[in-house]
Amino acid sequence: MQNTRTYAIESNDLSIHYGTFTAVRGVNLKIERQKITAIIGPSGCGKSTLLRSFNRMNDFVPGCYATGELLLQGQNLYSKDIDPVEVRRKIGMVFQKPNPFPKSIYENIAWGARINGFKGKMDDLVEQSLRSAALWEEVKDKLQESAYALSGGQQQRLCIARTIAIQPEIILMDEPASALDPISTLRIEELMQELKKNYTILIVTHNMQQAARASDYTAMMMIDDQRAGGVIEFDETKSIFTRPKDKRTEDYVTGRFG
């Protein structure tokens, strides 16, 4: 019980399989509350697969299933009696490519709140969420316009805003800045620092500098000889980048590989 109070989410020997193929093997991670944890590693090592297993998005991939445990407040998210819809209401997700709904800016935020049974004043929630995502000043005069009228960086912040609006415990981010220009990227990173005051953030990134500047903890993933990805090192970010214990991590973070 002590443990589950300390950690936001915890995986025990979590493996993810596509049919007979094991894509991610034996992951043991203890994710700290209100910290940013980065998952890094070369392409195809299962970073996104692992991240998407945290809110059961992999359920939509035919033949994909998970073994092991993923504990949120002591409940195994992969036990049979867990409702994946409820899981996703507690663990939000921001995707690689901004994917706002083809609705108005206002409705993008209100929709999620409404389906989650939000009963309060919607106008206030919309404003609050947009402010938290550092987007309010830019869009306050055009809330009824289509979200597609926004720039890529603004769209991504809108996606973060709508995730915040449903008040999740954890926010998963799958390379949230990889489709954005450097300035938008920087804004997302600043935003993450603000958000971690209230939320636990897990981010997959290809960008080593991003992991180094923005995260508190880093999990290094690598593929094994059976093409299954696994976490080979998990530590505070500064240790991973300054004195990695694993030779492969060192090679990767110093750019000698990958």
Partner 1 sequence: MKEEVLNIKATETQSFRQFDLKKKTRIGESVIQALLFFAGILSVLTTVAIVYELGKEAMLFFGNPDVTFAKFFGETKWQPGIGQYGIWALVSATLTTSAIAISISLPLGLAAAIYLSEYASPKARGILKPVLEILAGIPTVVYGYFALLFVTPILQNIFGDNIQVYNMLSAGLVMGIMILPLISSMSEDALSAVPRSLREAAYAMGATKLESSLQVVLPAALSGIGAALILGISRAVGETMIVAVASGAGPNFSFNPLEAAETMTGHIARISGGDLSYNSIDYTSLFAIALMLFLVTLVLNLISQYIVNRFRERYE
Q: Which residues bind partner 1 (CB under 8 A)?
A: 55, 57, 60, 62, 85-86, 88-89, 92-93, 95, 97, 99-103, 111-112, 115-116, 146, 148, 159, 162-163, 166
Question: 174 or 233: whose CB is closer to partner 1?
Answer: 174
The Cα 107–Cα 234 span in angstroms is 39
The per-residue DSSP string of 192-237 comes to: HHHHTTT-EEEEE-S-HHHHHHH-SEEEEEEE-TTS-EEEEEEEEH
Of residues 93 and 232, the one with the C-beta less far from partner 1: 93
Q: Least separation, in Å, of the C-beta of 166 and partner 1? A: 6
d(CA 258, CA 252): 6
Least distance to partner 1, CB of residue 112, Å: 4
H or E stretch at 89 = helix 84-90
- Give CA–CA dist 232/234, Å, rounded: 7
Q: How far is the CB of 39 from partner 1 (least distance, A)?
A: 17
Closest CA to 150 of 219, 80, 102: 102
* CB closer to partner 1, 149 vs 194: 149
- Smallest gap from Cβ 141 to partner 1, in A, equals 21
**Tokens of residue 204, six digits:** 């997959």
**Which residue number, 30 or 90, has a Cβ lying nearer to partner 1?**
90
Residue among 173 and 214 whose Cβ is closer to partner 1: 173
Phi-psi region of 175 (alpha: psi -120 to 50; beta: other; left: phi over 0): left
**What is the nearest approach in angstroms of partner 1 to the Cβ of residue 147?**
10
